[in-house]
Structure 1
């Protein structure tokens, strides 16, 4: 066999791609570059491997590297795949740095959409990992590795592996036995997907990823742009308060109000990251508190604690750091009295939703 042999008289093998398990080839019929991979399986399993590969060749999705052809050369099956110019997520993170949350969420949107399409077609990937996720120059994430011999896995295995891949994207390491603490909505979602008790419903995961992919957290906004004007902070407070009031009206509470869970979308609108849970779980706490600086001093979850956490979040937004005992309010202006009442150590002294809404609107209307 020559170094530049042809497969079935059509695909001229060229240099290895990546670690060498996949090779670049040139399709002399269609005059295009392709990627090829030999399916090295025992002879007794070749029939099943070919069947799996041909099923994968029917799968088409914008975030899937398509299998273009399945050929047999000298009795050995080969996959012929579209050549996609990109760098693996594994190499990107290892050689540079973990991805920002918003970019990682966009990767998640692509992967989840691809996997849902595959699962609907009865195809389980079985090898979702950072090495099989390619990041293109246009920002698209595509999943390769379809068409390899089946491992007998269920769709739930793909979902867990996707979560582990997203964990690697933002932490630079696999989750192991200790996934990263949920300091923001994205990490909370990934940790929930890795929970041995079972992940959230796929519809919930999709909704959360969609929102995170087009929004920045308030924490990120503050880290990159510094404190916000009091009027803007009051507007954010009003938006979050409306969501909390609706949640509290159902007898539930949030439990994790902090800058990492407040999302700012492309239209500069603020929303609180929450997870809608199906009945009968709709009255359960939605998101656990994770950061002591935003946890009410009584440490008893409930509506009053949510309001204290909202006050701490607004304090951080206007001052640039979370509240600490004796910290002055040097930038808050007309918002200062509102924050003092929200951050009272006595839950009964904190304003109710109606009074708080009136106070926040008065500050927002000043500017």
Structure 2
């Protein structure tokens, strides 16, 4: 078997990603996975396409798939992009079902933030659509497809496409000539953004999406704002423990992405929405028991206070008085973990006093 093809002497092409010109590749200089795409444009648009791609490489945002490099191989331009693990919004909706309103609103918040950064840099995306939106395992939405010619589109075109993408997210179909009716605020906002007269003011769009997505996943909070203080983590643990006990059944999905935090700090444990619990939050015995849920709760609280999930040999640098509680919860032996009553007693000793 011959050696696989390399671009620019360092991007080794691996397997194709679906149909078309998209490939997984390995950056041998930076030792990382990347995605490369042949920039197929008419010859007369090639120079402007390269200029657009190089401008896009300057965009930096957590909800933007970065353009890392632009290379020319045998007079053919290629984009080298950040590899992001996730499922496209199009695939997620078609294979499962439309998104619940809060999740769709969170997708909208992420995409609007990405487009705001791009528009402030004078860049119009031009291809906002469900296939270019990746949903990551942590619940973050990321916009890919930057670096292609926008064909002189206006920023308002991106906002219309954002509304059409959100319509697909909640309805499972494009808006067509008749956007979905419904009294709920998200559908009302989508219809307003799709109106021929143009979208509402950006601050209205942003504020409405924020209000509809006020319950934020714990993993997003930790990723954006950093670890939580020990007393807050103890209070979080008490709330989640009460919800597990009220369930009176095995939950099986206790992990930061399934913990939504409201504006007043209220925590809500939602059912497992994805295909399974992430390995870092799955008890070693993988049994459908309360003890296994408590292990997952311990791993979730570990992430909340330390900023990263537990790993073999991971130190507890921030946990303080909560550290002994986490050690017991994360014991590999289910019999050594605290009972719900014991855990409640230990957490009440740490939580904030009224």
TM-score range, shorter chain: 0.5 to 0.7
- The aligned counterpart of 1:107 is 107
Assess if the C-alpha contact under 8 Å between 1:182 and 1:191 holds in 2. no
How far 1:18 sits from its partner (Å)? 3.1
- The aligned counterpart of 1:189 is 189
Q: Distance in 2 between matches of 1:106 and 1:150?
A: 25
Equivalent position SS for 1:59: coil
Distance 1:188 1:265, change over 3 A: farther
Q: Distance in 1 between matches of 2:122 and 2:3?
A: 37
How far 1:71 sits from its partner (Å)? 0.4
- The aligned counterpart of 2:239 is none
- The aligned counterpart of 1:365 is none
How far 1:266 sits from its partner (Å)? 4.5
- The aligned counterpart of 1:46 is 46
Equivalent position SS for 1:189: helix
- Deviation digits for residues 18-45 of structure 1 (CA, Å, limit 9, x no counterpart): 3343110000101110000011122332
How far 1:215 sits from its partner (Å)? 4.8
Task: Give runs of aligned pairs for residues 258-337 of structure 1, distance below 5 A.
Answer: 265-267=262-264
Q: Distance in 1 between matches of 2:265 and 2:134?
A: 31
Distance 1:178 1:146, change over 3 A: same
Gaps of 5+ in 2: 217-260, 267-354
- The aligned counterpart of 1:212 is 212
- The aligned counterpart of 2:251 is none
Distance 1:28 1:215, change over 3 A: closer
Equivalent position SS for 2:108: helix
- The aligned counterpart of 1:179 is 179
Distance 1:15 1:124, change over 3 A: same
Q: Distance in 2 between matches of 1:181 and 1:3?
A: 55
Assess if the C-alpha contact under 8 Å between 1:36 and 1:79 holds in 2. yes
Equivalent position SS for 1:71: strand
Q: TM-score, normalization: structure 1?
A: 0.58
Equivalent position SS for 2:71: strand
Gaps of 5+ in 1: 217-263, 270-367
Equivalent position SS for 1:174: coil
Q: Distance in 2 between matches of 1:156 and 1:65?
A: 21
Assess if the C-alpha contact under 8 Å between 1:39 and 1:149 holds in 2. no
Q: TM-score, normalization: structure 2?
A: 0.60
How far 1:70 sits from its partner (Å)? 0.4
- The aligned counterpart of 1:34 is 34
Q: Distance in 2 between matches of 1:117 and 1:268?
A: 29
- The aligned counterpart of 1:228 is none
- Deviation digits for residues 40-91 of structure 1 (CA, Å, limit 9, x no counterpart): 1223322111100000001111100000000000011100000000000000
How far 1:265 sits from its partner (Å)? 5.0
Distance 1:182 1:75, change over 3 A: same
Q: Distance in 2 between matches of 1:3 and 1:46?
A: 30
Q: Distance in 2 between matches of 1:64 and 1:18?
A: 21
- Deviation digits for residues 242-299 of structure 1 (CA, Å, limit 9, x no counterpart): xxxxxxxxxxxxxxxxxxxxxx954399xxxxxxxxxxxxxxxxxxxxxxxxxxxxxx
Assess if the C-alpha contact under 8 Å between 1:189 and 1:205 holds in 2. yes
Q: Distance in 2 between matches of 1:69 and 1:98?
A: 35
How far 1:182 sits from its partner (Å)? 2.8
Provide the aligned C-alpha RMSD in A: 1.8
Tell me, yes or no, if structure 1 residue 4 matches structure 2 residue 13: no
Assess if the C-alpha contact under 8 Å between 1:179 and 1:191 holds in 2. yes
Assess if the C-alpha contact under 8 Å between 1:63 and 1:140 holds in 2. yes
Larger radius of gyration: 1
Equivalent position SS for 1:52: helix
Task: Give runs of aligned pairs for residues 64-213 of structure 1, distance below 5 A.
Answer: 64-213=64-213
